[in-house]
Amino acid sequence: DAGVIQSPRHEVTEMGQEVTLRCKPISGHNSLFWYRQTMMRGLELLIYFNNNVPIDDSGMPEDRFSAKMPNASFSTLKIQPSEPRDSAVYFCASSFRTGVGTDTQYFGPGTRLTVL
Amino acid sequence: GQQVMQIPQYQHVQEGEDFTTYCNSSTTLSNIQWYKQRPGGHPVFLIQLVKSGEVKKQKRLTFQFGEAKKNSSLHITATQTTDVGTYFCAGHTGTASKLTFGTGTRLQVTL
């Protein structure tokens, strides 16, 4: 089992540039989550999908952030334009939705984003 | 919105000492999960508790879910340097897939 795969692992970009983070969930999982982790704000849920459909995007900071899940094996998180305050580690996680609220999440290795 | 707080934020212990982190939710949870994140790593699932008052053990780790299903604790007996990391509790409410993560407790263990 390959686990959750994220790319790139590190991204350094300049303010104003577009950034795209990618995630491949574990095969067979039907829920996907995007988190952001910083020292100041901890681990924040940005958005999550069930069966490729966005369910809750209330954690998305602002319109500069967007996420898509075109199929069960791929998701992207895009930031456009990027700002220095977006610097963080972005995690993707996946789970199998049980329908009874006992889902266990499996996290990817994360993408460390630095916006200069 | 729902909040899950953990105390302490940080604890530094000598190897061999015990350690406890406490987790408190502003709302009743359907279950509680615990995750560990090593420095530079990603959160990894440790255990899930579902029943009110449930206690589970994993070697030197003891997990407890409160009677009211609003709080939980993780106790490590005789810490080792391999226990270093940040411990997060996380809870589901209802049947939703979404987990609300706690603020985390960072544990440092020195020889």
Contact at CB, A91 and B43, closer than 8 angstroms: yes
Contact at CB, A55 and B98, closer than 8 angstroms: yes
Contact at CB, B101 and A48, closer than 8 angstroms: no
A91 → closest Cβ in B42, B98, B100: B42
Quick one: B20 exposed, middle or buried, by C-beta within 10 A (0-12, 13-18, 19+)?
A: middle
Task: Please list the pLDDT of chain B residue by residue as tens digits (111 residues).
Answer: 778 999 999 999 999 999 999 999 999 999 999 999 999 999 999 999 999 999 999 999 999 999 999 999 999 999 999 999 999 999 988 777 789 999 999 999 999
Task: Give A89's pLDDT tier (boundaries 50, 70, 90).
Answer: very high
Q: What stretches of chain A show up as alpha helix (H) in DSSP?
A: none
**What is the SS3 assignment for A86?**
helix
Radius of gyration of chain B (CA): 13
Q: Quick count: other Cβ atoms within 10 Å of Cβ B78? A: 11
Cα separation, A116 vs A18, whole angstroms? 13
Q: Which residues of A touch B90 (CB under 8 A)?
A: 105
